[in-house]
């Protein structure tokens, strides 16, 4: 189906437009599409009338696409317009319904028909307006939904922002807590390590030196320790000449027993009193901590800060370290006092050996390297009324001043008992009874050897003590391991037996304590074997000429380790035969 209209006037254009609308309606074009087609065609026809000339409008229904119908609308210019370069105008709409053959008749000039066509166009426009109203309502609805959504998004953003702030605050609090915990761990670790350093020594000068070493530079720019002796302590706070070089805050700390902070600003340190800046060094803050032990002020620790000032927690840690250092210094001073007493006592007890014709003696005593450096090991040699020489080595259990005192009592008792004569076994039996009644909780070991002038027989006895080692004149070495008595002082009645061995000139007897031969990792027997080997390594001439050198030569290989936890005692008796 094809329809054609010639258009040269406005009336022709109106008729063609009305006919096109009717045909589109007849082919089932929806009102909205029909109105768009009519509006587009009207605009094109208006341009054609403006340009002038004759134009042709052609409508053609096309069924070549199958079930779907298409309506082609073409406006072509006249030959004159084509020569002027005016282009053709084309458009196509879909026709969902079959063609109504009764529609689309030519539109005449009847006003009623034109009015009807105009009203029909208004109906299409009304339909379009209704569609537009629906769309506006839909847009308004979606606009409200969008507004509500935006409000929700804004609220959600606010909640997310609040949650983010809360999370950041939580992270900051966690970071702060972690940093504080790390700082506390670092302070506790430092306090433990520094305490171990300052308490490891029993020399108060070393403690003071170590205290300054551990504090600088981590917790102090400088550290000064003012220790009082008797003279110093009497001058504290009294304006004496010894207190004058020290800061006033240090004097106040010594007098009051409270830490003092001297600076041109408050320190804000817990448990610390604020003082004006020091006249000796007004530009630097000072923290003066008293060293107090057993309610007695031993001195003052004066510190300058490693930076601008101290953290309050650092100050608490420093005060605690000063307290521990004060206790260590007090313990060291007490130890040094007791050590001086014990060493004086022991030096008094270890007397010179007697000069005896025919018998050379050499002795060595080495204190333990741990503890009080004084113990219960002892040696002695003296003559009995009949001219016999008693040589003895003993060991009182324990260390320290008490062991040294008991050792001196045993030594004195032995000399007293020996005046009455008696063999080594008898003397040890009497010492056993003496110790058991005098000190029931204290025990001792001892070995006694008796050399009698003109008699080649050596008499000896032991009580719980390592066996003597004998080098005979021919160079052979023997261990005198006859059964000894039990330890002295144990709650047991015993009679300690004598043992004898024949000697010839050139023989050498070694009496010793277990500190020389016993090692925890190896026991005592390997040590006795090493002692026998060391004694057998010396020749007869060397033993006769330099017994003191032999004693040193025996100690050196047996005590190669630098630290000992027990005393060492060695007594060499060489029978020269010159008497």
| CA dist., res. 436 & res. 413, Å (int) | 13
Identify the pLDDT of residue 60.
85
- Cβ neighbour number for residue 427 with a 10 Å cutoff: 26
High-pLDDT (> 70) share of the chain, %: 86
Residue 131's contacts (CB-CB under 8 Å, 6 or more residues apart) are 32
Residue 391's contacts (CB-CB under 8 Å, 6 or more residues apart) are 361, 379, 380, 381, 448, 449, 450, 451, 509, 511, 571, 573
Identify the pLDDT of residue 235.
38
Q: Which residue has the tokens 């002295």?
A: 488
pLDDT at 484 over 80: yes
pLDDT-derived band at 374 (thresholds 50, 70, 90) equals low
Beta strands in 430-476 (DSSP E): 444-451, 457-463, 469-471
Q: How far is CA 369 from the centre of its chain?
A: 33
Identify the pLDDT of residue 232.
43
Which residues sit opposite 391 in a β-bridge?
A: 381, 449
Q: Indicate the burial class of 414 (C-beta count within 10 angstroms; 0-12, 13-18, 19 or more).
A: buried
Greater model confidence, 111 or 528: 528
| Residue among 323, 310, 301, 314 at smallest CA distance from 253 | 301
| CA dist., res. 323 & res. 299, Å (int) | 11
- Cβ neighbour number for residue 500 with a 10 Å cutoff: 14
Both tokens of 291, joined, read 């060293």
Residue 356's contacts (CB-CB under 8 Å, 6 or more residues apart) are 383, 389, 451, 579
Identify the pLDDT of residue 243.
42
pLDDT at 495 over 80: yes
- At 284 the three-state DSSP class reads coil
Identify the pLDDT of residue 462.
97
Cβ density class 316-334: b for 16+ within 10 Å, e for less: bbbbebbbbbbbbbbebbe
Q: Residues 156-211: pLDDT tens digits?
A: 999 999 999 999 999 999 998 888 889 889 999 999 999 999 988 888 999 999 99
Identify the pLDDT of residue 180.
87
Which residues sit opposite 362 in a β-bridge?
A: 572
High-pLDDT (> 90) share of the chain, %: 45
CB 94 within 8 A of CB 66: no
Identify the pLDDT of residue 224.
92
Identify the pLDDT of residue 240.
31
Q: Residues 393-441: pLDDT tens digits?
A: 999 887 667 777 888 888 999 999 999 889 999 999 999 999 888 877 7
Rg for the chain, CA atoms, rounded: 61
pLDDT-derived band at 488 (thresholds 50, 70, 90) equals very high
CB 292 within 8 A of CB 257: yes
Both tokens of 138, joined, read 């839909």
Q: Residues 251-285: pLDDT tens digits?
A: 999 999 999 999 999 989 999 999 999 988 888 89
Q: Span 535-551, mean pLDDT? A: 93
pLDDT at 99 over 60: no
Both tokens of 145, joined, read 């939904």
Q: Indicate the burial class of 216 (C-beta count within 10 angstroms; 0-12, 13-18, 19 or more).
A: middle
| CA dist., res. 523 & res. 309, Å (int) | 58
| CA dist., res. 103 & res. 22, Å (int) | 7
pLDDT-derived band at 323 (thresholds 50, 70, 90) equals very high
pLDDT at 42 over 50: yes
Identify the pLDDT of residue 579.
47
Q: Residues 115-139: pLDDT tens digits?
A: 666 566 666 777 777 777 888 888 8
pLDDT-derived band at 59 (thresholds 50, 70, 90) equals confident
Q: Span 510-538, mean pLDDT? A: 90
| Residue among 488, 487, 485, 511 at smallest CA distance from 497 | 485
pLDDT at 39 over 70: yes
Identify the pLDDT of residue 127.
75
Please report the sign of the dihedral spanned by the C-alpha atoms of residue 553, residue 366, residue 392, residue 344: positive
Identify the pLDDT of residue 234.
37
Q: Span 474-492, mean pLDDT? A: 92
| CA dist., res. 498 & res. 484, Å (int) | 9
CB 477 within 8 A of CB 470: yes
Identify the pLDDT of residue 233.
41
pLDDT-derived band at 238 (thresholds 50, 70, 90) equals very low
∠ CA 95-97-99, nearest 5°, is: 85
Q: How far is CA 463 from the centre of its chain?
A: 54
CB 83 within 8 A of CB 66: no
Domains along the sequence of the chain with CATH? 2-109 (no CATH), 204-343 (3.30.450.40), 350-575 (3.60.40.10)
Both tokens of 441, joined, read 């909780």
| CA dist., res. 579 & res. 356, Å (int) | 8
The set of long-range contacts for 201-204, using a CB threshold of 8 Å and a minimum separation of 24, is: 201/328, 201/332, 202/331, 202/332, 202/335, 202/336, 203/332, 203/336, 204/328, 204/329, 204/332, 204/333, 204/336
Which residues sit opposite 60 in a β-bridge?
A: 2, 72
Task: Of 27-31, 98-102, 449-453, give the lowest mean pLDDT range.
Answer: 98-102
| Residue among 14, 154, 144, 19 at smallest CA distance from 73 | 19
DSSP 490-513: SSS---PPPEEEE--TT-EEEEE-
Identify the pLDDT of residue 189.
93
Residues, the chain: 579
pLDDT-derived band at 239 (thresholds 50, 70, 90) equals very low
| CA dist., res. 300 & res. 284, Å (int) | 18
* Average confidence score pLDDT of the chain: 85
Identify the pLDDT of residue 136.
84
Query: Which H or E element spans position 557?
Result: helix 547-558
């Amino acid at each position: 189906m094809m329809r054609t209209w010639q258009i040269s006037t406005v009336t022709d254009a109106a008729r063609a437009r009305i006919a096109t609308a009717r045909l589109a309606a007849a082919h089932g074009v929806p009102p909205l599409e029909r109105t768009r087609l009519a509006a587009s065609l009207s605009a094109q026809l208006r341009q054609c009338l403006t340009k002038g000339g004759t134009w042709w409008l052609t409508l053609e229904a096309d069924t070549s696409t199958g079930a779907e119908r298409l309506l082609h609308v073409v406006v072509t210019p006249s030959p004159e317009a084509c020569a002027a370069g005016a282009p053709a105008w084309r458009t196509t709409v879909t026709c969902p319904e079959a063609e109504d053959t009764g529609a689309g008749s030519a539109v005449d000039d009847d006003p009623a028909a034109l009015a009807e066509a105009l009203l029909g166009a208004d109906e299409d426009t009304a339909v379009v307006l209704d569609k537009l109203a629906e769309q506006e309502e839909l847009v308004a609805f979606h606009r409200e939904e969008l507004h509500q959504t935006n409000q929700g998004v804004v609220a959600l953003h606010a909640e997310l922002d609040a949650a983010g702030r809360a999370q950041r605050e939580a992270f900051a609090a966690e970071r702060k807590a972690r940093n504080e915990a790390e700082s506390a761990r670092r302070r506790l670790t430092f306090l433990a390590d520094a305490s171990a350093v300052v308490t490891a020594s029993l020399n108060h000068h070393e403690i003071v030196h170590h205290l300054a070493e551990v504090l600088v530079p981590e917790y102090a720019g400088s550290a000064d320790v003012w220790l009082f002796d008797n003279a110093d302590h009497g001058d504290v706070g009294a304006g004496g000449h010894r207190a004058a070089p020290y800061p006033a805050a240090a004097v106040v700390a010594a007098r009051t027993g409270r830490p003092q902070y001297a600076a041109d600003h408050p320190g804000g340190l817990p448990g610390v009193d604020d003082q004006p800046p020091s006249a000796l060094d007004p530009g630097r803050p000072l923290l003066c901590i008293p060293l107090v032990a057993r309610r007695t002020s031993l001195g003052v620790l004066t510190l300058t800060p490693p930076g601008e000032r101290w953290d309050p927690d650092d100050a608490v840690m420093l005060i605690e370290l000063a307290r521990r250092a004060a206790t260590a210094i007090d313990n060291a001073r007490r130890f040094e006092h007791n050590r001086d007493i014990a060493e004086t006592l022991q030096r008094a007890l270890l007397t010179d050996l007697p000069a005896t014709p025919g018998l050379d003696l050499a002795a060595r005593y080495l204190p333990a390297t741990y503890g009080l450096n004084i113990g219960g090991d002892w040696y002695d040699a003296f003559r009995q009324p009949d001219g016999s020489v008693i040589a003895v080595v003993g060991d009182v259990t324990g260390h320290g001043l008490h062991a040294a005192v008991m050792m001196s009592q045993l030594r004195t008792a032995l000399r007293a008992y020996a005046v009455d004569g008696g063999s080594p076994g008898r003397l040890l039996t009497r010492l056993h009874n003496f110790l058991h009644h005098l000190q029931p909780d204290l025990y001792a070991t001892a070995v006694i050897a008796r050399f009698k002038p003109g008699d080649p027989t050596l008499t000896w006895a032991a009580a719980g003590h390592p066996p003597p080692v004998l080098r005979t004149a021919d160079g052979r070495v023997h261990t005198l391991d006859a059964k000894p008595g039990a330890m002295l002082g144990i709650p047991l009645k015993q009679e300690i037996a004598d043992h004898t061995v024949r000697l010839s000139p050139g023989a050498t007897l070694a009496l010793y304590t277990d500190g020389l031969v016993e090692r925890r990792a190896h026991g005592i027997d390997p040590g006795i074997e090493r002692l026998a080997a060391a004694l057998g390594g010396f020749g007869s001439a060397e033993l006769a000429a330099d017994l003191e050198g032999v004693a040193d030569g025996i100690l050196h290989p047996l005590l190669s380790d630098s630290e000992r936890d027990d005393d060492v005692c060695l007594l060499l008796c060489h029978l020269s035969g010159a008497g």
